[in-house]
Structure 1
């Protein structure tokens, strides 16, 4: 899986892009969400706001690029889309 991270234009979050599509309705059954539609998933992951899209793109309001990457990997692992990076 390809994962890339870049600072969003507003500099308040990081955009994480993957090459994996996500079924957001199925994802909402696995992870705790605030809002779940087939177009957008909003959740709070350990105090960090995350927006997830079906394209595999995520907007993560984390304090650093590394933290946003860790959060994205953890979420993808919970969804069964990635072998958890701490176990690899």
Structure 2
């Protein structure tokens, strides 16, 4: 059984498509442990990003993800856990 994964590149693409990017922020740098607020993404942008992830990857993310996932690494972990659970349930 193939398990779909969600990468940092996937997250960057969705962030850019959903919420754009501050021209002063370099998403190509080491951003895994940088707070979303430092990257100029507020809770509304993360909420929109989570909605896009749900649609694109066919998973359901709890509303608390917006407040719990403070960094790209945390969001990647949550999404990949959901993807793995979804694959096991299938």
Q: What TM-score do you get using the length of structure 2 for normalisation? A: 0.31
| Greater per-residue strand proportion | 1
* Higher RCO (C-alpha 8 Å, min separation 6): 2
Which structure's CA Rg is the greater one? 2
